[in-house]
Amino acid sequence: MASTIPGQMMHVPLLISSILRHAARHHGDTEIVSRRIEGDIHRYTYRDLQQRARQLAKALHALGVEPGERVGTLAWNGYRHLEIYYAVSGAGSVCHTINPRLFPEQIEYIANHADDRYVFFDLTFLPLVERLAPHCPQVRGWVAMTDRAHMPASEVSLLCYEELLDAQDSDYAWPEFDENTASSLCYTSGTTGNPKGVLYSHRSTVLHSYGAALPDSMALSARDCVLPVVPMFHVNAWGLPYAVPLTGAKLVFPGKDLDGKSLYELFETEGVTFSAGVPTVWLGLLDHVKKNGLRFNTLNRTVIGGSACAPAMIRSFEEEYGVQVIHAWGMSEMSPLGTLCKLRVKHANLPREAQRALLEKQGSAIYGVDLKIVGPDGQELPWDGESFGDLLVRGPWVIDTYFKGDKSPLVNGWFPTGDVATIDADGYVHITDRSKDVIKSGGEWISSIDVENVVMAHPAVHEAACIAISHPKWDERPLLVIVKKPGAQVTREEILKFYDGRVAKWWIPDDVVFVDEIPHTATGKMQKLKLREQFKDYVAPASA
């Protein structure tokens, strides 16, 4: 082959600071609205954000934070958290968002593993900080994200965020460096073993933001008003803190109040058009609007992912409230966006039910993410919508190695997601399960997600988890664990009958148990591992 010749375009590195510079310069007066921990609503603009992020970058420098060092956050979605995102990464250090919903022991492990130099925290997390401080000797300072007037008394010596900023002017130029430099760090919740760190780069983050904004992705534009419900401590709020300023849309941050009433109020008063979150949060919001006979006046679409979104929820949003649901799939190791579900032109004339069946899938890949499914022998499986196997991914915003990890998680250059899926001829992915949640009955697999989805359409069911219990003949059989809606009455027999004609007979659970609550992980997923432990010795009447 003849030798290639170099292209002759500029070498401008893809840096996170360029997103902020763009937003401040081209959408300078667009608002960022935050419900503060202090209780009030705070408003300012992208121009203000850049100014304060520059002050903070100088403050970090004054504190001795070096490029490459990690700065932790324990914070809700709000403007100060956004300032930290941009100041820390923009200066070449690493913004490490810690999920405060994890167990304190896990947080301590994470802060020490990441070797955080400073930790910035919202006042809500003071008790957590007081518990952590003695066990995190490498943390040089704990910064309370508030002003002097709201500084709490504490036995831990605290720094005051607004004082740090006040001591600096905004005369600061964002440094230029290699786009492959580390920018931020998130740990996966680690349902088994210790949490693992995913270290994103400036390049991966900027490319992921472009991908997120595309029309068949989140379709973000400067005409939008975006409220990320998904926390900034959970996979960088699915990239919205970068993708939204990149498009110049208005941003609304809900702070710590994620109940249906508080969210609905913000949606309406700020004119929110787009939102994103996990199914459990939307359960609360839908309950609130239903109970109070409310409507959404501006919200027109929402991305739901992180766990499978039940078809009943998609239907409710669309048919009762005229809000388009975009079902999405991804994971921390993928920045997180992988697939999003929208119809194509050729689907326009399909009967509504067929369109719905498609929209319940997790969707097709964004450019930048390549997918394949493989069987137990590692052989690639066909895209026929029926063959299911382990889902593997690759792309410029997919993990290569875990932070301080000693061995590569990749298999021949592909990252195994731990999910089991089918892919149809058009590339629409249907996640049937996490491989550890799949129910293996008599050599065949039952999709726990599909079993749950059916019963979520029952009017008395608030939440449902389907788990494997052991069975003498079939190895495993499905058990359904249900939380009823408040005040609802329903029997085991009625629930089982509901499956008639909706799934293959052998998929129908062997039994139903009603519980007050299903345990959730720190990222809002049902903790099936815990349920499996709880029901380890459960014997269903049919097999007793």
Residues forming contacts to ligand ADP in the complex (CB under 6 A) are: 188-189, 235, 305-308, 327-329, 331-332, 336, 362, 417-419, 431, 434, 521, 523, 525
Nearer to ligand ADP among residue 225 and residue 480 (C-beta):
480
In angstroms, what is the minimal distance from the CB of 437 to ligand ADP? Answer: 8
In angstroms, what is the minimal distance from the CB of 270 to ligand ADP? Answer: 27
Nearer to ligand ADP among residue 26 and residue 404 (C-beta):
404
In angstroms, what is the minimal distance from the CB of 418 to ligand ADP? Answer: 6
349: tokens are 């004339």
Annotated active-site residue in 108, 333, 463, 476: 333
In angstroms, what is the minimal distance from the CB of 234 to ligand ADP? Answer: 7
In angstroms, what is the minimal distance from the CB of 472 to ligand ADP? Answer: 30
- Judge residue 280's burial from the number of C-beta atoms within 10 Å of its C-beta, 0-12 exposed, 13-18 middle, 19 or more buried: middle
Angle between helices 46-62 and 79-90 (to 10 degrees): 60
Angle between helices 240-247 and 16-26 (to 10 degrees): 40
- Minimal CB distance residue for ligand ADP: 331
**Phi, psi (rounded to 5 degrees) for 396:** -70, -10
Tally Cβ neighbours within 10 Å of residue 266. 22
Annotated active-site residue in 290, 291, 436, 440: 440
Tally Cβ neighbours within 10 Å of residue 117. 21
440 tagged catalytic:
yes
- Distance CA(283)–CA(269), nearest Å, equals 21
Contacts of 304 (CB under 8 A, 6+ apart): 276, 277, 278, 279, 282, 313, 314, 325, 326, 327, 328
In angstroms, what is the minimal distance from the CB of 340 to ligand ADP? Answer: 9
Sole residue written with tokens 């579900």: 341
- Distance CA(520)–CA(501), nearest Å, equals 30
124 neighbors 131 (Cβ within 8 angstroms): no
In angstroms, what is the minimal distance from the CB of 373 to ligand ADP? Answer: 14
Nearer to ligand ADP among residue 50 and residue 335 (C-beta):
335
**Phi, psi (rounded to 5 degrees) for 338:** -120, -60
Q: What is the DSSP letter of 222?
A: T
Start-to-end C-alpha separation, the chain: 70
The full DSSP string for 420-480 is EEEE-TT--EEEEEETTT-EEETTEEE-HHHHHHHHTTSTTEEEEEEEEEEETTTEEEEEE
514: tokens are 């009603």
- Distance CA(374)–CA(380), nearest Å, equals 4
Nearer to ligand ADP among residue 90 and residue 311 (C-beta):
311
Nearer to ligand ADP among residue 327 and residue 342 (C-beta):
327
445 tagged catalytic:
yes
291 tagged catalytic:
no
Nearer to ligand ADP among residue 235 and residue 438 (C-beta):
235
E runs forming strands in 241-378:
250-253, 274-277, 301-304, 324-330, 337-340, 364-365, 370-374
- Distance CA(203)–CA(183), nearest Å, equals 9
Nearer to ligand ADP among residue 18 and residue 432 (C-beta):
432
Annotated active-site residue in 97, 188, 205, 523: 188
In angstroms, what is the minimal distance from the CB of 434 to ligand ADP? Answer: 4
Nearer to ligand ADP among residue 229 and residue 431 (C-beta):
431
In angstroms, what is the minimal distance from the CB of 332 to ligand ADP? Answer: 4
Nearer to ligand ADP among residue 52 and residue 434 (C-beta):
434
287 neighbors 266 (Cβ within 8 angstroms): no
Q: What is the DSSP letter of 520?
A: B
Asked if residue 376 has a cis previous peptide bond (ω within 30° of 0), the answer is no
188 tagged catalytic:
yes
Which are the catalytic amino acids? 188, 333, 440, 445
